[in-house]
Every structure is written in C-alpha cells, then in structure tokens.
C-alpha cells in the first residue's frame, strides 16, 4: 500500500447524445454493439477487447504543469466499425482530461498489436505480430522494426527498450516469473532476473531500473537490471475487480502512476482512472506486542512489535505508541521510532503479578 | 522448559482467514529470518506461494512460486539463504529472502544426497539429523560423513539457526524439544542444553533473543531463552541457625529439566520464632536465592521457613 498523491478524473465515456445519436440505419449506419445502450446502460462506448493497453507519462507541458499522462485503450462503440483505439491525455497536475483522439490503426493492425510500452527515452514501442516496432510520436508510423528472432524469442511482448544504453528488458519466455535483459543492438542475452510475480506490466524508473508489476498477486518489484538486484518488493494498490493494471513512472514528480481497468458502473459509466502514488509503503498492520523477556513483578521487560505494509514488508520511520493496563505500566516515553526493519521495542514495567494488557498503535 | 512468552497464534492472512503452512516432514522450505520473518510456503487464495509471517501469525504472499524449494542457511554470506532446485534437489541457488525469488546457481554439486536442515558453512555443508551432525565437502558433495554425535537420543528432525556467534549454530530438535548449540569451527557442542516443548519446527532469533516455535497444531508461539521455574528446593542453612545470631539460608529454583533459573524472585515465609531479613530475594546465576534469618534468644519451637516463586 502506497500513499496516494494524485488522481485523474474518470476516463470519460460519451453518451449517444454527446456524439452521433443512436444509429438507426442499415449497413455502416446500423447500430453496433447494441448492448452498450441497453438499459440501464446509457453510454455509446466502453472499454472492450484488450481494453486499455498502455499508460505513459511524458514531459509535454500543459498550462498547469510540466507533465502529461497518456492512456491508449481499445473501446467498443455503437458506431461502425464497432470499435476504436482511443488515445486519452490527462494533465499531470490537475488530472483533467486534455484530449481524446482516435489512433489511426486499421483493424488488422490493431488486432495484431499485442502490447504498447514506453521506453526509457519516453518513446512508445509496440509488439506487432511478433516483432518490436518503434512508433512515431503520432503513433501512425513505424520508425524501425526489430525482429524477435534477434533475441532468440518467439515474441516481444511487454518490451522496455533503453536505446541510449543499448538494452531491452522483456518478460522471460522460458520462465514464468522472470524478466530477461538483452543487448538491444545484438540480441545478446545479458541476464535473467526472477521476479516475485508473473510480470503483467513493466515500466522504466530511471537508468538501469524498472518496476515490474505481477498479474497474479499484484506484487511489485523495483529491479536494478544492471546488477540483477531486486531493490524492493511491495504490493501494488489494486481496486477490487480490476481486470487489468497498467504502470508508468512520472519522472518529474517521482510518483508511480497506476491505471486499473475496473468494471463499468451499472449505467455503463467508466469507473477507471489513473492514480499516482509515492512508492513508499505505508503501515497497514502492527504485530501483536511480544514480550522478549519473561514478565515478572518488579521487572521491566522489552516488548517487541513490528510495523509492516500489505506485503509484509517492513515500514520504517513511524512512531509506535504503547499503553499498558492491569499489572503493568509503560516505562520511559511509551513510544518508539521503528527501525529500518520495522521493529520497535518498548519497555514495559511489570508492577504486579497477574495479567497485563498492552495496546500498541501507530498514530495517524 | 523454556518459558512461553506469547502465543500460540494461528497463521492467518490480513483478512483474518486461517492458513495452514505446508509443514511436511522436516519442513525444509520454512525458516525463521530476523530481517524478514518466518519464510514459508503455503496456499493463500487459490494458489500456493512463498509467504512471510510475523510473530503473531499474520501472513502475506511474498512471491508466487507454486513449488516449495528447501531453504539452506548460507554462512558464507551475512544473513543469507540458498534454495535447492525442486527437481533434483541438487543445484543450489541464491535466494533473495526479501522478494522470495531465486538468483544465480551457486553450486551444482550433488547436494541432493544431503537431507535437511542444511547449512553451507565456509568449508563444508552441514546437516543435523538423528542426533548427529553430518557433513559433505563443498568441492565434491557426493557422500556424507558423521562429524559429531550428540549424547542422548535427540530425535530425527531438527531446525538450525544462526546465533550471535558466527561459528555457533543453534539446533532445535523437534521430537524431543532439546536445543543444542554446535560450534562448527571447533566441531563440538557448546553451551548448556535448553528445552522447548516438542514441536514441528523451532528457531532461535539472535536479534530478539527468543525462540520462534511452530507446534503440532501448526500454531506459532514465542519462547524465552530462560526456563520457566518448576521447582524450589527446601531451604538449607548456609550458616547454622543459632539462638541470638543471624544465619543465612538459601533455596534453589530450577526448571522442569533441572535447568538453572536465574533472576527469579523468591518469596520467603516464616512460621515460628525469629525474623526474616526480607520477604523476597532474587536468584543468582546458579539459581540460588539467599535470605537472612535472625533467631531469637528464646526459641520455644523450631522455625519453619519456606520458599516459593510466584508470577
């Protein structure tokens, strides 16, 4: 669990009366996907197919700030041809929707795109058929193609290229829970790094580091792929019922952007949005107080607790406060800052024989 | 018997659902680690995974690997663990305990010949089983040899933990609950034995100086390194009781296995003539508590002095 510091507005769907009305013709003028407007649903579009498939952030300035957040999604709609690839842009400060435009990929092109990813230089790449395509800024052209065979792979899904440092990170095809690191120019396999979960999203953080989000238990690793070290393991915040999660790192505000595709509301309205977090775990649980020495009347004993986040990871630098009743009182200040390992030890003075009750807490 | 400090706690997830650790015979995939917690492998939700459990039983998934691999203490690196390959149990891999993931292979020798628990020391592999320490060479780990035989029947299975001393291992024998300490440099038993209840697995925590124990009901509890008082000897006079003089009496507090109970508060009572110097005294490092007795000049009856421990 991270502290939320930002959110965009909900990804907006359009109603028929905000768009082109309800089609009543035949052929290309007929009503596509009539379920979209079958009551209680009332919107002319909704995420469908592979749904949202890339979240990114870049340094495109807006009137309020230095960053823009992009989301590209497959949508179903009531108009011919029944689907559309939509490119949403949000203000990186206010979270407001800046623009919504169609990506001009044909049906075959869209259908054979199995993933779009942001590279370290901010440019978008896509895995098309099996190969890796570097895209132009308007997403309409392929600047270059790198075959999957260069890396000895069948496909290049979820690619994270670092052109400047001649590296590419891909989920391993040989091991379910691992990423593979290759030399981009030659395809040389540099190393394999096992991950805590099956990679479902990968995004660059800074040079040599990527976030890898698991799709089984939403475990999130921060990985230094130059050394092979897993620097941290957390649980990524994930709304109940999320069908898909996307990840991006905002290099300006140093926040983790997470998009979760959540089920539409009963009337068909979108419930999905981009949320920003500071990637520092917040406390979700406090271990039951554990005396480390045998309590006896007249003895002051150290009592241990531990502050952890929702992956059981230690949470440091929070204050634990204790209260005692019955046959004991808190000794000293009755509070303690936890260590880097999340542990805090508070002294408790045993004033009598019999039972004592201890209540430790982390003040908000 | 070492005194229980907390528990027993059920293994449970953050929603309070009960969990059951996969503690098969020997439970080689379960290890206590002061940095992380209890590393184990169990089913949470629909799938098995590596888990981390706090001292009160609260358990979280740490990685999604569905197959448990035996974990090995690595004395060559500080607070590090290794994991065996699950297919042939031969190759040893670095194990990142924080992420629950495997790293590079560090040995491809046939360490499958060695059962559990297992330690990679600086110059050899060690295993504790059947009241013995078995060893294999690092270079050609094909056959095991007995390095040390503990006295008495300690049992078949054990868990090995680090201690505050680099070359001393703590071995908790599951069947009997006996805790032994082994100096793997001097190759001999050191320190006095301690006694836990019989259990499935137990480890010593050098950071917190407690034992973490999983009992046969698969519950977790925490035990002190000091024994629970079980008996107080009858007071004996160190100096003869003489009319009009002070004499010194002592009583010894021991645990259920005869262990010394130090720093325990002893309550003294007197029936009959005379006066005690205090109502309470504290046992020394040998478990003895002493008290002064002042005998009056006139003693129509013999004094009855008793010692007891209350807590």
Rounded mean pLDDT, A100-122: 87
* Of the candidates A250, A201, A241, the residue with the CA atom closest to the CA atom of residue A221: A201
Say what the pLDDT of residue B24 is: 63
* Of the candidates A201, A263, A205, the residue with the CA atom closest to the CA atom of residue A232: A205
Residue B6 to residue A290: CA distance in whole angstroms: 6
Say what the pLDDT of residue B26 is: 61
Is the model's pLDDT at A325 over the cut of 70?
yes
- Structural contact between residues A311 and A234, judged by C-beta atoms closer than 8 angstroms: yes
Instruction: Name the band, by pLDDT with cuts 50, 70 and 90, for residue A364.
Output: confident
Residue A49 to residue A47: CA distance in whole angstroms: 7
Say what the pLDDT of residue B87 is: 60
Instruction: Name the band, by pLDDT with cuts 50, 70 and 90, for residue A289.
Output: very high
Which residue in A284, A295, A311 is closest to B62 by CB distance? A311
Say what the pLDDT of residue B88 is: 58
How far B183 CA lies from chain A's nearest CA (Å)? 25
Instruction: Name the band, by pLDDT with cuts 50, 70 and 90, for residue B112.
Output: low
Whether residue B264 and residue A195 make contact (CB cut-off 8 A), yes or no, is: no
B123-180: per-residue pLDDT in tens? 898 999 999 999 988 876 667 889 999 999 999 989 999 999 999 999 999 999 999 9
Is the model's pLDDT at A223 over the cut of 70?
yes
Residue A348 to residue A293: CA distance in whole angstroms: 11
Which residue in B51, B58, B100 is closest to A285 by CB distance? B58
- Structural contact between residues B260 and B289, judged by C-beta atoms closer than 8 angstroms: no
Residue B140 to residue A25: CA distance in whole angstroms: 81
How far A329 CA lies from chain B's nearest CA (Å)? 16
Please give the interface size between A and B, counted as residue pairs whose CB atoms are below 8 Å apart: 119
**Pairing outcome for strands B118-120 and B71-74:** parallel
* ipTM score assigned to the predicted complex: 0.91
Which residue in A194, A295, A306 is closest to B101 by CB distance? A194
Q: Exposure string (b/e) for A69-92, b if CB count within 10 Å is 16 or more?
A: bbbbbbbbbbbeebbbbbbbbbbb
From the candidates B40, B52, B60, B281, which should be mutated to test the interface with A, based on the most A CB atoms within 10 A? B60
Q: Mean of the per-residue pLDDT values for chain A? A: 93
Helix, strand, coil content of chain A in percent (nearest 5): 5, 50, 45
> Which residue is closest to B264 within chain A, CA to CA?
A296
B220-274: per-residue pLDDT in tens? 999 999 999 999 999 999 988 888 899 999 999 999 999 999 999 999 999 999 9
Interchain contact B229–A (C-beta under 8 A):
no
Whether residue A217 and residue B49 make contact (CB cut-off 8 A), yes or no, is: yes
Whether residue A304 and residue B103 make contact (CB cut-off 8 A), yes or no, is: no
Report the share of chain A in percent with pLDDT over 90: 78
Q: Report the range of poorest mean pLDDT among A268-282, B23-37, B124-138.
A: B23-37
Residues with Cβ within 8 Å of B165's Cβ and at least 6 positions away in sequence, in order, are B183
B contacts of A197 (beta carbons < 8 Å): 63-64
Instruction: Name the band, by pLDDT with cuts 50, 70 and 90, for residue B42.
Output: confident
Whether residue A219 and residue B210 make contact (CB cut-off 8 A), yes or no, is: no
Q: Report the range of poorest mean pLDDT among A141-155, A231-245, B21-35.
A: B21-35
B172-231: per-residue pLDDT in tens? 999 999 999 999 999 999 999 999 998 999 999 999 999 999 998 999 999 999 999 999
């Amino acid at each position: 669990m991270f502290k939320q510091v930002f959110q965009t507005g909900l990804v907006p769907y359009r109603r028929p009366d905000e768009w082109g009305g309800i089609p009543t013709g035949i052929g290309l003028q007929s009503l596509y996907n009539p379920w979209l407007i079958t009551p209680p649903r009332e919107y002319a579009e909704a995420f469908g197919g592979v749904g949202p498939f890339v979240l990114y952030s870049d340094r495109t300035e807006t009137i309020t700030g230095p960053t823009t957040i992009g989301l590209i999604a497959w949508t179903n709609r009531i108009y011919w041809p029944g689907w559309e690839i939509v490119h949403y842009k949000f203000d990186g400060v206010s979270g407001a929707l800046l623009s919504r435009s169609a990506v001009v990929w044909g049906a075959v092109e869209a259908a054979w795109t199995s993933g779009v990813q942001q590279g370290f230089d901010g440019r978008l790449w896509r895995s098309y058929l099996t190969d890796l395509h570097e895209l132009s800024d308007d997403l309409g052209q392929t600047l270059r193609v790198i075959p999957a065979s260069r890396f000895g792979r069948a496909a290049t899904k979820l690619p994270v290229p670092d052109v400047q440092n001649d590296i590419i990170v891909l989920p391993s095809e040989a091991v379910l829970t691992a990423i593979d690191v290759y030399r981009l120019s030659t395809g040389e396999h540099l190393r394999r790094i096992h991950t805590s979960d099956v990679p479902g999203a990968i995004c660059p953080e800074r040079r040599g580091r990527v976030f890898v989000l698991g799709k089984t238990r939403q475990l999130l690793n921060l990985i230094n792929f130059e050394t092979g070290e897993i620097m941290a393991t957390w649980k990524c915040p994930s709304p109940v019922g999320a069908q898909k999660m996307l990840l991006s790192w905002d290099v300006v505000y140093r926040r983790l952007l997470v998009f979760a595709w959540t089920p539409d509301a009963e009337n068909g309205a979108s419930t999905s949005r981009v949320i920003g977090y500071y990637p520092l775990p917040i406390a979700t649980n406090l271990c039951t107080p554990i005396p480390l020495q045998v309590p006896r009347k007249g003895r002051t004993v150290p009592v241990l607790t531990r502050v952890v986040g929702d992956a059981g990871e230690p949470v440091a630098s929070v204050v634990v406060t204790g209260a005692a009743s019955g046959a004991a009182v808190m000794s000293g200040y009755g509070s303690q800052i936890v260590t880097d390992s999340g542990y805090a030890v508070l002294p408790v003075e045993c004033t009598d024989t019999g039972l004592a009750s201890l209540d430790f807490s982390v003040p908000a | 018997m070492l005194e229980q400090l907390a528990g027993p706690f059920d293994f449970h997830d953050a929603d309070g659902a009960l969990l059951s650790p996969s503690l098969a015979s020997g439970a080689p995939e379960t290890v206590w680690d002061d940095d992380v917690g209890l590393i184990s492998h169990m089913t949470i939700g629909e799938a098995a995974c590596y888990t981390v459990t706090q001292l009160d039983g609260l358990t979280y998934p740490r990685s999604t690997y569905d197959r448990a691999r035996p974990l090995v203490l690595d004395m060559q690196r500080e607070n590090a663990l290794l994991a065996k390959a699950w297919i042939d149990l031969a190759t040893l891999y670095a194990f990142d305990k924080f992420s629950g993931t495997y790293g590079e292979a560090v040995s491809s020798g046939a360490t499958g010949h060695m059962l559990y628990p297992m330690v990679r020391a600086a110059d050899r592999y060690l295993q504790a089983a059947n009241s013995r320490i078995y060893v294999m060479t690092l270079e050609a780990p094909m056959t095991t040899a007995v390095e040390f035989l503990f006295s008495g029947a300690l049992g078949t299975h054990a868990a090995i933990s680090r201690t505050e001393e680099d070359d001393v291992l703590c071995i908790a024998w599951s069947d009997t609950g006996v805790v032994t300490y082994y100096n793997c440099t001097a190759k001999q038993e050191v320190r006095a034995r301690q006694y836990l209840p019989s259990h499935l697995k137990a480890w010593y925590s050098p950071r917190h100086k407690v034992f973490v124990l999983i009992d046969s009901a698969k519950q977790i509890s925490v035990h002190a390194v000091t024994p629970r008082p079980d008996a107080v000897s009858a007071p004996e006079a160190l100096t003869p009781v003489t009319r009009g003089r002070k004499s010194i009496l002592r009583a010894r507090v021991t645990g259920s296995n005869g262990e010394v109970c130090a720093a325990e508060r002893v309550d003294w009572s007197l029936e009959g003539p005379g006066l005690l110097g205090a109502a309470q005294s504290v046992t020394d490092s040998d478990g003895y508590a002493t008290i002064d007795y002042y005998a009056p000049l006139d003693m129509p009856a013999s004094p009855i002095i008793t010692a007891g421990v209350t807590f």
